[in-house]
Amino acid sequence: MENYMKLEIPAKSCNESLVRAVVSAFAVQLDLSIEELADIKTAVSEAVTNSIVHGYSNMKGTIKVVCRMIDGCIEIEITDYGVGIEDIDTAMQPLFTSKPECERSGMGFTVMQTFMDELKVSSKLGEGTVVTMKKRIGG
Amino acid sequence: MDIKLELIGTTLVVKIDGEIDHHTAAMLKSEIDRELNVHNVTNLVLDFDRVTFMDSSGIGVIAGRYKEITARGGKVMLIRVKPQVDKILEISGLKTIMECSH
């Protein structure tokens, strides 16, 4: 089955659960397990939270979410137009956080990597960040 | 999210109902910290029976309270943990430093 959806929302923390719910509703069209669905929800939550907390530093902004189903895979692309990431490799290190005072665990990218099959991060300073994640269903 | 706090002796039991993410973590943190500041709490029990979702924001909250409780010479226990929460606790390494049961 091929399908896609696009969602654009303001970068507000109350929208984190909204994005999880929408992506879940889209993903259940594939025949996926409870664990696979939970993995997708968690990874999406991490990416959206990163955009709100880091991309926009809790200020105003827009987050775009695109989901696609291709060949038994779900691909999720989360885009923000915030500050961007200076050093992606450092940002992706487990336990690294640029905001230790906020009790951020520094596990966001590690969770995305562990729960999804593929993770790609591209970012430009002053322009924003795109996180693309893929998960094979039933694989 | 709904949080119920009960102090039994010097043990604070926190029953959490709902989803723990960056949005709700702030409320969870402040509710627990208020009790920790007011009462003589040495141990903390977090009851996850009704937690339907948790992301790494929850790890930050647990780790922060763990630091405070261990500084007081107490213990943190995570009880009635469900599979989704268990998976994220597992990769965070928190299960190696605190008691965790299903």
pLDDT digits (tens, 9 = 90+) for B46-95: 999 999 999 999 999 999 999 999 999 999 999 999 999 999 999 999 99
Mean pLDDT of A69-79: 95
Q: Please give the CATH topology (third level) of the domain spanning A3-136.
A: Heat Shock Protein 90 (3.30.565)
- Rg, Å, chain A Cα set: 14
**Cβ-nearest to A16 among B23, B29, B91:** B23
DSSP structural state of residue A61 = -
For A5, A39, A116, A134, B3, the CA distances from B88, given in Å and listed in that order, are 27, 10, 13, 19, 21
Q: What is the pLDDT of residue A94?
A: 86
Q: What is the pLDDT of residue A98?
A: 85
Mean pLDDT of A102-130: 94
DSSP structural state of residue A1 = -
Mean pLDDT of A113-118: 97
Mean pLDDT of A44-63: 96
Does B60 sit within 8 Å of A42, measured CB to CB? Answer: no
Does B21 sit within 8 Å of A49, measured CB to CB? Answer: yes
Chain B residue at shortest CA distance from A35: B84
Q: Which domains does chain B have, with CATH numbers?
A: 2-100 (3.30.750.24)
Q: What is the pLDDT of residue A104?
A: 82
Give tens-digit pLDDT for B27-59: 999 999 999 999 999 999 999 999 999 999 999
Q: What is the pLDDT of residue A139?
A: 61
Mean pLDDT of A6-11: 98
From CA A76, how far away is CA A6, in angstroms rounded? 10
Average pLDDT, chain A: 95
Mean pLDDT of A96-125: 92
pLDDT over 90 at A66, yes or no? yes
A49 touches chain B (CB under 8 A): yes
From CA B14, how far away is CA B61, in angstroms rounded? 13
Does B56 sit within 8 Å of A108, measured CB to CB? Answer: yes
Does ipTM top 0.90?
yes
Beta bridge mates, A74: A69, A135
Does A52 sit within 8 Å of B22, measured CB to CB? Answer: yes
Does B22 sit within 8 Å of A16, measured CB to CB? Answer: yes
Helix (H, G, I), strand (E, B) or coil at B24: helix
Q: Would you give the distance in Å from CA A35 to the centre of its chain?
A: 17
**Cβ-nearest to B23 among A14, A39, A114:** A14
Contacts of B81 in chain A (CB under 8 A): none
From CA B25, how far away is CA B11, in angstroms rounded? 21
Number of inter-chain CB pairs under 8 A, A vs B: 67
